[in-house]
């Protein structure tokens, strides 16, 4: 298993956070600490960094990597619960959404359709419900919805029927490779540029980890956690996530007008600092960066 994870949009994130040496920052998605290391490099003795990750392996790695650095505190928890762990307002928050390369590379975690692993897909292996249990209890309608909405999968119903039938068969679906095969076999037309299970695996991962529900909650918490002038930077990796971040930031920066009530229901609370995409050079070096979008707001 590799411990490498190249931080995406690294310099853009550092610029976006405009780090003050004595500031307090939250890295909501520590991963392997690429962005955290950049924040720490700019913090002085008085600066503080609170690093969240819901994956115990990420936290264990971080505690070892930054052992003896009193400026960083680790929290093993979902970032949506940040208000429970942080009792001061902070100068900046970074969220680099999704899974890390070590999570994808470790077959045992069940995220990969290229290697045999258990049907798990939980980022937090101490909590939640595994993919195997969810698939054993899902209806065709619900699974179709998951694949269509979270994976924008054209053949959602066919795939859902095939998965539910295979799960109910005597052999069941024994591992991630078998699941990828069921998904591939259910598609009448294959995408030329992507593995046939790419979209479905993304959808299932989002479902298992309730990523859209959690994102909605963390945006609310993060906004309330910022000092005036504090910055929130979010990197998303697929259109569904980015749409939610974009719309949320737009409402925060423009105020929200309710069409039904015909009135402004919330005043502007944030200033938009725009969006950034990875350079061609970065996407050549790190294909994972290809779909990344960074959006930034500043608290008024
Ligand atoms: C894309 S990686 C972050 C990589 C990191 N920026 C770096 O430079 O190494 C995402 C990490 O965030 C964690 N994560 C994703 N969603 C989370 C959530 N809701 N709460 C806490 N951690 C989360 C994952 O476990 C993973 O380790």
Q: What is the pLDDT of residues 95-154, one digit of tens each?
A: 999 999 999 999 999 999 999 999 999 999 999 999 999 999 999 999 999 999 999 999
Closest CA to 77 of 134, 131, 130, 29: 29
CA distance 98 to 103: 10
Verify that 222 and 192 share a domain, yes or no: no
pLDDT band at 4 (very low <50, low <70, confident <90, very high): confident
pTM beyond 0.85: the answer is yes
> Given this model, what pLDDT does residue 258 score?
80
**Which of 208, 229, 260 corresponds to the end of one domain?**
208
Residue nearest to atom 3 of ligand 1 (CA): 31
> Given this model, what pLDDT does residue 222 score?
97
Ligand 1 centroid – CA 189 distance (Å): 33
> Given this model, what pLDDT does residue 80 score?
96
> Given this model, what pLDDT does residue 261 score?
85
Verify that 73 and 37 share a domain, yes or no: yes
What domain range includes position 136? 128-208
> Given this model, what pLDDT does residue 257 score?
77
pLDDT at 46 over 60: yes
Verify that 229 and 254 share a domain, yes or no: yes
> Given this model, what pLDDT does residue 198 score?
95
Lowest mean pLDDT among 55-59, 73-77, 225-229, 254-258: 254-258
> Given this model, what pLDDT does residue 2 score?
56
Mutate to test the pocket of ligand 1, among 29, 30, 58 (most ligand atoms within 8 A of CB): 29
Specify if 123 maps to a domain.
Answer: no
Q: Output 1 or 164, whichever has higher pLDDT.
A: 164
pLDDT band at 29 (very low <50, low <70, confident <90, very high): very high
pLDDT band at 267 (very low <50, low <70, confident <90, very high): confident
Residue nearest to atom 24 of ligand 1 (CA): 99
* Number of separate domains in the chain: 2
Max Cα-Cα span within the chain: 61
Across 200-226, average pLDDT: 97
Ligand 1 centroid – CA 91 distance (Å): 20
Specify if 150 maps to a domain.
Answer: yes
> Per residue in 241-266, pLDDT tens?
999 999 999 999 988 778 888 887 77
pLDDT at 297 over 90: yes
**Which of 156, 185, 208 corresponds to the end of one domain?**
208
Mutate to test the pocket of ligand 1, among 31, 57, 76, 82 (most ligand atoms within 8 A of CB): 31
Verify that 40 and 96 share a domain, yes or no: yes
Q: Write the CATH number for 16.
A: 3.40.50.150
Residue nearest to atom 12 of ligand 1 (CA): 29
pLDDT at 1 over 60: no
Both structure tokens of 22: 């004595």
**Which of 208, 238, 253 corresponds to the end of one domain?**
208
> Per residue in 178-196, pLDDT tens?
999 999 999 998 888 889 9
> Given this model, what pLDDT does residue 192 score?
83
Ligand 1 centroid – CA 122 distance (Å): 12
Ligand 1 atom at minimal distance to the Cα of residue 124? 25
Give the percent of the chain with pLDDT over 90: 90
Ligand 1 centroid – CA 77 distance (Å): 11
41: Cα separation from own chain's centroid:
24
pLDDT at 3 over 80: no
Residue nearest to atom 2 of ligand 1 (CA): 100
Residue nearest to atom 15 of ligand 1 (CA): 98
Ligand 1 centroid – CA 13 distance (Å): 15
Per-residue HEC secondary structure of 109-144 comes to HCCCCCCCCCCCCCCCCCCCCCHHHHHHHCCHHHHH
Mutate to test the pocket of ligand 1, among 30, 49, 241 (most ligand atoms within 8 A of CB): 30
Q: Which residues line ligand 1 (CB under 6 A)?
A: 5, 7, 29, 31-35, 52-55, 58, 78-80, 96, 98-100, 123, 214
pLDDT band at 5 (very low <50, low <70, confident <90, very high): confident
């Amino acid at each position: 298993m590799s411990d490498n994870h190249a931080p995406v949009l690294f310099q853009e994130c550092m610029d976006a956070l405009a780090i003050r040496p004595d500031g307090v920052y939250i890295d909501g998605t520590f991963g392997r600490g690429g962005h955290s290391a950049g924040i720490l490099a700019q913090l002085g003795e008085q600066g503080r960094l609170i690093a969240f990750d819901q994956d115990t392996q990420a936290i264990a790695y971080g505690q070892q990597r930054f052992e003896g650095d009193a400026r960083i505190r680790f929290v093993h928890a979902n970032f949506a619960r940040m208000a429970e762990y942080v009792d001061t307002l902070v100068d900046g928050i970074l969220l680099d959404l999704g899974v890390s390369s070590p999570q994808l590379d470790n077959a045992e975690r069940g995220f990969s359709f290229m290697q045999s692993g258990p049907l798990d897909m939980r980022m937090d292996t101490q909590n939640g419900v595994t993919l195997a249990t969810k698939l054993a209890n899902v209806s065709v309608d619900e699974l179709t919805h998951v694949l269509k909405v979270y994976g924008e999968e054209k053949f959602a119903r066919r795939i859902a029927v095939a998965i539910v039938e295979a799960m109910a068969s005597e052999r069941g679906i024994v591992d991630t490779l078998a699941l990828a095969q069921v998904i591939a076999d259910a598609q009448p037309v294959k995408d030329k540029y992507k593995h046939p299970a790419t979209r479905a695996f993304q959808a299932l991962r989002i479902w298992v980890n309730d990523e859209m529900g959690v994102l909605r909650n963390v945006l609310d918490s993060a906004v309330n956690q910022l000092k005036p002038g504090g910055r929130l930077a979010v990197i998303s990796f697929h259109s569904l996530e980015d749409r939610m971040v974009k719309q949320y930031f737009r409402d925060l920066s423009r105020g929200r007008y309710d069409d039904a009530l015909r009135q402004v229901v919330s005043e502007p609370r944030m200033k938009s600092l725009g969006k950034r995409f990875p350079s061609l050079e970065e996407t050549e070096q790190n294909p994972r960066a290809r779909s990344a979008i960074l959006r930034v707001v500043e608290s008024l």
